[in-house]
Amino acid sequence: MDKTPMPRRIAPLTDTKVKTVKPTKKPLKLFDGGGLFLLVSPTGGKLWNFKYRFEGKEKKLSFGSYPDISLAEARQRREQARSLLANGADPSVIKKVQKESGLKETETFELIAREWHTKFSPSWADSHATKIIRRFELYIFPWIGSRPIKSITAPELLAVLTRIEAKGILETAHRAQQNCGQVFRYAVATGRAELDPTGDLRGAIPPANGKHMATITDPKEITGLLRAINDYRGSAVTRCAMQLAPLVFVRPGELRHAEWHEINLKTAEWRISANKMKSGSPHIVPLSKQAIAVLLEIHPLTGHGRYVFPSPQTDTRPMSNNAVLAALRRMGYAKEEMSGHGFRSMASTLLNEQGWNRDAIERQLAHAERNRVRASYNYAEYLPERKKMMQAWADYLDRLVNEEENKIVPIRAAR
């Protein structure tokens, strides 16, 4: 029997533990994990330290004293130091250079980015917040995270974004540029940078090919797609999800997480809570007669449970995020032809072309509102017009399917 002792697991510190710990006759070390520890001196002083190895030598770096540096701030500095180590830089040397140049440690890109994320992410959906910080950690921090934010130039940032472009993920490159711009503007607003270099990068990265949001906007092709969905021979739950998707054009994640208690068939409304929305604001989806018909069809199958479109394994979880995509592939639609997001692009393109109020369309698409305070109140904005638009849109799709020889009746005529 192997009697090798198991490594001792370090329980992370808590704010209460750090605040209430009492000094002892000898220096006391409280470990948080990842090399971070709090050194409590016999006189009561509390100093944050980071223990690490660089080029085979054990080293130590001070992050400052508590409570001037909180537990959260100490952890941010630890992650920045670990990022430097991962890229072959010695955190102690970087700190010395910063000190000699008169730059505060809190003025590096990574620390300001994490501060910005901590400040604004509570108003976002959890999945959206996770995606943003993960994008920084994978593609931005390793290259410019330790750089003084005010010294980062447009060419330097472009070099970082070009690395992402070279991986063939153009959409990620554009989103990374957008997020970096938000951080730079936050740094300008808080007096730690003088300009946002992303403004000089407009057009420097090719437009995204949009394959991951591939869509169909030609009326004859939409007819074929809708008929293929109606004839789908797979799961009834998946078929109903695909039938509802073009009628409500919400995001795929919002569709598959639809719950019965959110839907009011009497008022013909689907009200989605803020924590499910990318914008972080509640959203109202007016339900057309056709959308209600789909919901009435699936209700006998799933109405006893929580989710409108549950997983086939258990009704305590929603359907897989790949269910609709897989069904589209089985129906013969390649990834560059149609996607789950494609129903949104389809509606957006045609509704704009056919003269509906652009602001009403944008509100129905639930695009993120820049003004967070306004966003919390305007989720019902343009609602009467949106109700008319959603019913006219559903009627238009019906005619595409039923009109003989594809003699399409323009949506303006329906209005």
Q: Which of 256, 283, 341, 363 is catalytic?
A: 341
Question: DSSP string covering 15-72, please?
Answer: HHHHHHPPP-SS-EEEEEETTEEEEE-TTS-EEEEEEEEETTEEEEEEEEETTTS-HH
Please tell me the distance from the alpha carbon of residue 180 to that of residue 157, in angstroms, as a whole number. 9
Catalytic residue chosen out of the listed positions 77, 251, 256, 387 = 251
Among 230, 254, 252, CA closest to 322: 252
Which of the following is catalytic: 104, 377, 412, 415?
377
Helices then strands, each counted (H, E), the chain: 18, 7
Residue 276 falls in the annotated catalytic set: no
**Is 299 labeled as catalytic in the residue annotation?**
no
Q: For residues 388 and 394, what is the distance between their CA atoms, to the nearest angstrom?
A: 10
Q: Is 16 exposed, middle or buried (0-12, 13-18, 19+ CB in 10 A)?
A: exposed
| Nearest in space to 145 (alpha carbons), one of 79, 69, 70, 205 | 79
Query: Do 320 and 311 touch, CB atoms closer than 8 A?
Result: yes
Residue 412 annotated to the active site: no
Query: How many C-beta atoms lie closer than 10 Å to residue 249's C-beta?
Result: 24
User: Is 335 tagged catalytic?
Assistant: no
Q: Is 186 a catalytic residue?
A: no
Point out the catalytic residue in the list 344, 363, 386, 399.
Answer: 344
What CA–CA distance (Å, rounded) separates 342 from 329?
A: 14
Answer yes or no: 367 catalytic.
Answer: yes
Name the active-site residue from 367, 374, 412, 415.
367
- Active site (catalytic) residues: 251, 278, 341, 344, 367, 377
